[in-house]
Amino acid sequence: MKKIIIATLNPNKIREYRQILTPLGYEAISPIEVNIPLNFVEDGQTFTDNALIKARALAKLIDAAILADDSGLEINALDGFPGLHSHRFLLGASDDEKNLEIINMMKSQQDKTAQFVCVIALILPFQAPQIFKGIAPGYILDLPQGKNGFGYDPIFFSFEANAPFATLSTEEKNRYSHRGKATAQLVAYLKKNNY
Whether 96 is a known active-site residue: answer no
Give me the amino acid identity at 92: G
Separation between Cα atoms, residue 67 and residue 78, nearest integer Å:
30
Q: What angle do CA 104, 108, 110 make, to 5 degrees?
A: 120
> What is the DSSP-derived secondary structure letter of residue 22?
G
The sign of the dihedral angle between the CA atoms of 102, 103, 109, 110 is: positive
Rg for the chain, CA atoms, rounded: 17
Which of 70, 79, 111, 153 is catalytic? The answer is 70
Spatial CB neighbours of 172, under 8 Å, sequence gap ≥ 6: 161, 163
- Of 31, 136, 18, residue with least CA distance to 74: 136
Separation between Cα atoms, residue 170 and residue 89, nearest integer Å:
25
Helix axes 11-21, 178-192, angle to 10 degrees: 50
Query: Which residues are annotated as catalytic?
Result: 70
